[in-house]
Structure 1
Amino acid sequence: MELSLSRVHFPVTTLGPGRRLGIWFQGCSIRCPGCISADTWGPGQRRVSIAQLLAQLAPWLAEADGITVSGGEPFDQFPALLALLQGLRHSSPLDILVYSGYSLEYLQPQLRQAEGLIDALISDPFEAHSEQTLALRGSDNQRLNLLTALGHERLACYERPLQTADKALDLMFDENGSVWMAGIPLRDDLLRLHDLLSAQGHKVRTSAHRH
């Protein structure tokens, strides 16, 4: 079993409680207008086996406080997502938070198959015209669904408005010099950063769309 992978990173501190292991799937069929992660829309060229990925993640799992799976759209690769979740649950007691642009109602068949494997789910598509006042969400139409007792214990505290501490992003650096940001930026934050750096003479390319 293989999946199309965008990247993994540890630690991520802006997508759930504690120092988290972040896993980003590559490929998204939803493609919400205004998405800041348009670089994860295409199919990508990095395919890894579930066994290989789990082996890669093992040292970080020993240090992490939780796991966040995003993309891209993880449920577009549901057989691979299910196998990964099963492997993670077998390897670790950590809470697992998954982001999806699909609605909770649409995902019911998949969630029944993954029962007990996802502790919390952020569901529903990003809407650029909606307000952004809630923790862990890019737009207020998105829902935080607590699916297990562990999900309630670890993530119920995020059913609240944004706080000052939420207004943060993690920076990740690749070997080729690319800089990635993890977290939920405020509306147009990345575009303002792009304009600021460009004005200083830097060459900057972001996946955020102007709208």
Structure 2
Amino acid sequence: MNIRLSRLHFPVTSLGPQKRIGIWFQGCSIRCPGCISADTWATQGGESTLEQVLGQIRTWLPHAEGFTISGGEPFDQPDALIALVHGLREMSAGDVLAYSGYPFEALSGTLEKVDGAIDALITDPFEINTSQTRPLRGSDNQRLHLLTDRGRALYSCYERDLNESDKSLDVMFDDDGSVWFAGIPSRNDFERLRDLLTDQGHRVQISADKAQNR
């Protein structure tokens, strides 16, 4: 089974409870204006196999409590997503949180085949002009769906307003000098960071810049 991923990372602490393995799919057909992950839009790159991905994930399992799947758009690769979440379920008791820019009502066919392997799902496109007051969501139009008993136990506490503990990001560094953030930033955080670093003489490009050049 082939799969296209942007990256894997552990630990992720800002996209769900406890220490999580983050799985970002490569490729997105929705391309929401203002998306902070425009680098994951392209449908080329990130080719791998499910076996390779699960092999890497297995090395982190002794220290991980759950999985967060984002992108990109995971549901643009439905067969790979279904195989991935069933593979995760077979080798771990950790919960699975997934993100999709599609409305929940459009995902019924894939979710039926997922068969309970996703515990919580956040759906609907990011809207740059909609307020952002709910945890785990980039805009308030996005909905949190609790799909299993485990999902209800772990994620019902996120149906509330943001608090200070929600305003955190995980930082990742690549060998080429790229810096990556995982989490849900406040509006214009990355633009402010870019401008601050540019003023200090650094050369900086963020995902929003890449989107403008497409």
CA distance in 2, matches of 1:203, 1:44: 26
Q: Which residue of structure 2 aligns with residue 9 of structure 1?
A: 9
Q: Which residue of structure 1 aligns with residue 171 of structure 2?
A: 171
Report percent identity of matched pairs. 59
CA distance in 1, matches of 2:184, 2:61: 23
Structure 1: segments with no counterpart, 5+ residues = none
Structure 2: segments with no counterpart, 5+ residues = none
In the TM superposition, what is the alpha-carbon distance from 1:130 to its structure 2 partner? Answer: 0.3
Partner deviation per Cα, 1:29-84 (whole Å, 9 max, x = no partner)? 00000000000000132211101110111021221111000000000001001011
In the TM superposition, what is the alpha-carbon distance from 1:175 to its structure 2 partner? Answer: 1.2
Matches within 5 A, 1:127-138: 127-138=127-138
Q: Secondary structure at the match of 2:80?
A: helix
Q: Secondary structure at the match of 2:165?
A: helix
**1:45 has 2:20 as partner:** no
CA distance in 1, matches of 2:191, 2:36: 10
Q: Secondary structure at the match of 1:69?
A: strand
CA contact (8 A) 1:5 1:44 kept: no
Q: Which residue of structure 2 aligns with residue 119 of structure 1?
A: 119
CA distance in 1, matches of 2:90, 2:205: 39
Aligned positions, number? 211
CA distance in 1, matches of 2:41, 2:73: 8
Q: Secondary structure at the match of 1:101?
A: coil
CA distance in 2, matches of 1:166, 1:4: 29
Indicate the structure with greater helix content: 2
Taking structure 1 as the reference length, the TM-score comes to 0.98
CA contact (8 A) 1:130 1:141 kept: yes
What amino acid sits opposite 1:39 in the alignment?
A: D
Q: Which residue of structure 2 aligns with residue 26 of structure 1?
A: 26
Q: Which residue of structure 1 aligns with residue 183 of structure 2?
A: 183
What amino acid sits opposite 1:120 in the alignment?
A: A
What amino acid sits opposite 1:56 in the alignment?
A: Q
CA distance in 2, matches of 1:7, 1:53: 10
CA distance in 1, matches of 2:46, 2:21: 19
In the TM superposition, what is the alpha-carbon distance from 1:154 to its structure 2 partner? Answer: 1.1
What amino acid sits opposite 1:73 in the alignment?
A: E
**1:147 has 2:147 as partner:** yes
